[in-house]
Amino acid sequence: MGKTGMPPATGLFLGANILAFIALFAAQGGPDMSPRLIVEFGGLVPLQWLDGQYWRLLSYGFLHFSLMHITVNAICLLAWGVPLERMMGSARLAFLYLGSVIIAGAGSILMRTGPFVSAGASGGVSGLLGALFLLYVLRKIAMPGSFFAINIGLNIAVALFTPGIDWQAHLAGFLGGMVLVGLMIVASKLRRA
């Protein structure tokens, strides 16, 4: 994979998020989505998940409530996904991203109480940031510590001060990304042994 241009997995996930937003926009008739519409398109709702609609643990990660919501997640996907994919390859990035989306959704269901609708790529992109952070801690990548202070700090600030943010998904995605990339490192070492 070259060092220029959009890596394929990151581009695919970005495109899927944009296409889903366009479909929601067309169905809603505007850029702000109703929770009901998000549910119809596959948003994460605990009772429906518990009723066997397990696909929602993945579909919710491609739906967004507003133009600002998808814009922030798209920027984070590009900022964190592109360098990771260039380093680890497309298949591993896809596994990491989709695994983080699922872990974030499961974490949201386990940590939240009461009825809610969750949507957005935040859990997946938080997983990418978590993976980058673990790689930094293990000295597998050379990045300035300020990158993590700023990005993790902004993630925490947004989660704390923006109403309706599913901080549980952010946290579970971040930790899930760390675990998944850690497992990839261990698996790689075992294959070489």
DSSP assignment letter at 80: I
Please name which of 140, 10, 137 lies closest in space to residue 86, comparing C-alpha atoms. Answer: 10
d(CA 74, CA 21): 11
Q: What are the boundaries of each domain within the chain? A: 8-192
Question: Is domain 8-192 in CATH 1.25.40.10, yes or no?
Answer: no
Name the pTM for this structure.
Answer: 0.94
Instruction: Please list the residues that pair with 44 across neighbouring strands.
Output: 118
Q: Which residue in this structure is represented by tokens 């989306």?
A: 101
d(CA 129, CA 121): 12
d(CA 36, CA 191): 47
CA 24 to chain centre: 19
Tens of pLDDT along the chain (193 residues) come to 456 789 999 999 999 999 999 999 999 998 889 999 999 999 999 888 778 899 999 999 999 999 999 999 999 999 999 999 999 999 999 999 999 999 999 999 999 888 899 999 999 999 999 999 999 999 999 999 999 999 999 989 988 888 889 999 999 999 999 999 999 999 988 888 7
DSSP assignment letter at 81: I
DSSP assignment letter at 118: B
d(CA 94, CA 179): 15
